[in-house]
Structure 1
Amino acid sequence: MELPILNNFLVPVDGGESSRRAKRYAVALAQKCGAKVILFYAHGQISGRIGGEDRQKVVQKNLEGIDKVFAIYEDGFKEAGVEFETVVASGEPSEAIIKAACEHNCGMIIMGAKGQTGMRKVLGSVASKVSSTSPIPVLVVGTECDCTNSCGKECMWKWRFEPVPNLQEKCCRQ
């Protein structure tokens, strides 16, 4: 089996907490690998019943919302010194994510475990669809613990477990 080249990561974002967790993971991994991150947002198709000027208004409103979403993430990448770019596409999110990852020659897709709620929850999660159909490796970032630093220091007391030796040595021996 050939391992992927980790020079580009695609990080789908929606402004939710799960994509913020994925962003934090992508920042750390990109720093270690010297990789570039593609921040990606997929917006759904606009109904064919909306036309003319109303359609343009809907598109403009979507683009303004997307800019606000990207702004949440961009500062973190700039502070960390990680190269990134933003990409927007329309279409069904899981298909658009996979297509963008292929087009941008990404070695991995890094995404949060939970995204939007409502009908998407009923139909199945985007992360589940992407991970089951993508030819590119997908890293799904789950929930984080509630402790102030996620090294396990407080978790030893809260969850009654010991960190794996040397795995968290740098963080836990401060």
Structure 2
Amino acid sequence: MFNTIMVPTDGSEYSKKAEDTALSLAKKLGSNVVAVHIIDEKLIYPYEVLEEEGKAILQEVQKKGKEMDVEVLEILIVGNPTHDMAKITEKSGADLVVISTHGKTGLEKLIMGSVAENALKKVPVPVLLVK
């Protein structure tokens, strides 16, 4: 049914729930997982620090995948999370996206928008929202 499940993650507790859901689903379906971390190009912060954080987040997903015997491909890019999600979905061959419904809150969400909401609009495959 779903061969490749993509899970965008920012390392938040909400994203970790989405990671766990994607990995559990992949285990049951015999699918592989594409874990994606997008460093927001709008952030004014040393890139090296953000890259190291992103790598650590993806390595944690990789570790959980190995423990569950699920193959995990890691993708780390600098870009716009709301715009690049659809491109990554297509390039990775993902046929399902599992994403958390929370991450940014308050003013940050108002200014930047909801990544999950934009994923629903732009991603060309089914999207499973995890609360």
TM-score, structure 2 normalization: 0.89
Q: Choose between structure 1 and 2 for higher RCO, CA contacts under 8 A separated by at least 6 residues.
A: 2
2:27 equivalent in structure 1: 31
Q: What is the aligned residue count?
A: 130
Distance 1:72 1:36 in 2: 16
Matched, 1:141 2:130: yes
Distance 1:11 1:86 in 2: 10
Please tell me the residue identity of whatever aligns with 2:87.
Answer: K
Q: Is 1:16–1:116's contact at 8 Å kept on the other side of the alignment? A: no
TM-score, structure 1 normalization: 0.68
2:110 equivalent in structure 1: 122
Matched, 1:13 2:9: yes
Q: Is 1:89–1:96's contact at 8 Å kept on the other side of the alignment? A: no
Distance 1:70 1:118 in 2: 26
Distance 2:53 2:75 in 1: 14
Q: How does 1:40-119 map to 2 (within 5 A)?
A: 40-45=36-41, 58-119=46-107
Q: Is 1:40–1:87's contact at 8 Å kept on the other side of the alignment? A: yes
Consecutive unaligned residues of structure 2, counting only runs of 5 or more, are none
CA-based RMSD of the aligned residues comes to 1.9
Greater CA radius of gyration, 1 or 2?
A: 1
Q: 4+ runs of 1 displaced by more than 6 Å?
A: none
